[in-house]
Amino acid sequence: MEAGIWSLLPAVLAIVLAIITKQVVLSLGAGIIIGALILNGFNPVAAFTSITATLIENVADPEWNTPIIVFCLLLGGIIGMINASKAATAFGNFIARRVRTQRGGLLTTWFLGVLVFIDDYFNSLSVGAIMRPVSDRLGISREKLAYTLDSTAAPVCILAPVSTWVAYVMSLLATEFSAAGIDKNPFVAFIELIPYNFYALLALVLVVILAIIGKDYGPMVAAQARTRASESEQAETNSSGLLSVLDLLLPMLSLVLVTLIGMLATGGYFEGGIGIADAFRESDPAMGLIYGGVFSLLFTIVWYLCRRQPVTRLMEGFGDGFKSMLDPVIILALAWTIGSVTGELGAGEYLASVIGANIPAFVLPLLLFAIAGFTGFSTGSSWGTFAIMIPLAVPAAMAVNPELLMPMLAAVLGGAVFGDHCSPLSDSTILSSAGAGCNHIDHVSTQLPYALTGAAAAAVAFLLAGFGISPWLALPAGLLVLIALVRFLTTRPAPIQKTLDS
């Protein structure tokens, strides 16, 4: 069905309602309903039947969607058990005896944030629990810790090949690729998107630059200046050995390794006659995630029981983690459904026709980055922004210039993460404040100049990508802009860097 300008109404309504109500589920639901009404001539009975059938068809898809839902729930349970085991606290004690400077503390926080890539919520809370007492002793402000946590949460998860985020994004790509007739493995597409994901990459680099040079700008200067090392915290470090460190690392390593092995197996690698790259290209990523999730769950249970963790604590942790994934799963199901509805309405094709007639193609990645950033900031939800924007970006790219598919998709991902990174409504921003023990508004205000710096550099890279320039050239150009902006903006903080020995 070609609905013309009305085909955009479901997505526009979802964005507007999300901005007004801050409720992503409600907004997606409203967009689905109005889209179904348009599709069915405003017959409410037919619209209800259509919505129900589409929702069931998407959720009950055994080849992709159902395994993704199962993986998300399994991963939630694993994260819940890790949290219940107090492994993060033990790991923090292990780290505290080895890090003695502010630079070392910030870089260690960054490294742990990159290491804990399976979920942004788990990242912020676990790394925050590990590094908060260490940061206090080193005189690192809670605001600077919260910024580092936030910058290694969503930006890391959108780059990691095994995480709740990659499962979600691949599910959206699979749906849209199928609708657009694109013969590409969603996992391979996700890997190809990584070098184009300029904002996430530059946000990570910015944390390292600021840690190494020991300078800040904006409200963060005052936050750092009023922070003093807390002597009272120094006595709280308890003995923690290698086994306590393994309590945190082994469950995550088992998940990653078995997932990758499972993908190689489904791609025929172990049958011989096929290389690793070809095996990944021919793999079934959804089943690989299921293999990794099931094995990691069983391994985590056995490991913690051998470590004499109470069974009741593990079960409570599993239940809490399982429940924490219910909202993302609901959003995922609604995202699939609104994608199907907008696809049937021909929204992507209409948008492409309007864009092709009025907007130069090279501007599209930058434009999508800005729109996704505004939507993510207004809604506080990367996932909600993905759900709204990806169904529009794929057909638009294929109609205007298929060579811009990767830059345009990466612009949606990067813009959504940027908006989420800045938004005071974002779950990951709120949890970063909580993980650092920082006032939430203080965190948002001190982080915003840094996020805008990364976005400005990423915008330059997306503009270059719109001209067809390789990401391996556009990314260094963005990095040079980032370095120039940091050099222009930074001022040396008032306190002399403090070490534990001083």
129-138 pLDDT, tens digit per residue, is: 778 778 888 8
Residue 381 pLDDT grade (very low, low, confident, very high; cuts 50, 70, 90): confident
Q: Which of 435, 431, 477 is nearest to 198 (CA)?
A: 477
Segment holding 230, helix H or strand E: none
Q: According to the model, what pLDDT value does residue 429 have?
A: 82
Q: Supply the pLDDT for residue 197.
A: 96
Give the CA distances from residue 401 to residues 105, 151, 365, 368, 433, in Å, rounded to whole numbers and listed in that order. 46, 32, 11, 14, 41
DSSP 498: P
H/E segment holding residue 252: helix 242-266
> Which tens digit of pLDDT belongs to each residue from 68-79?
788 878 888 888
pLDDT of residue 30: 92
The residues, ordered by sequence, that sit 6+ positions from 269 with a Cβ below 8 Å of its Cβ are 275, 276, 279
Kindly report, residue by residue over 180-190, the tens digit of the pLDDT.
889 888 888 99
Domain boundaries, the chain: 4-60+98-236+325-489
Contact 184, 177 (CB under 8 A): yes
Angle 52-170-452 from CA coordinates, rounded to 5°: 110
Contact yes or no for 53/310 (Cβ under 8 A)? no
| φ and ψ of 216, to 5 deg | -140, 175
pLDDT category of residue 422 using cuts at 50, 70 and 90: confident
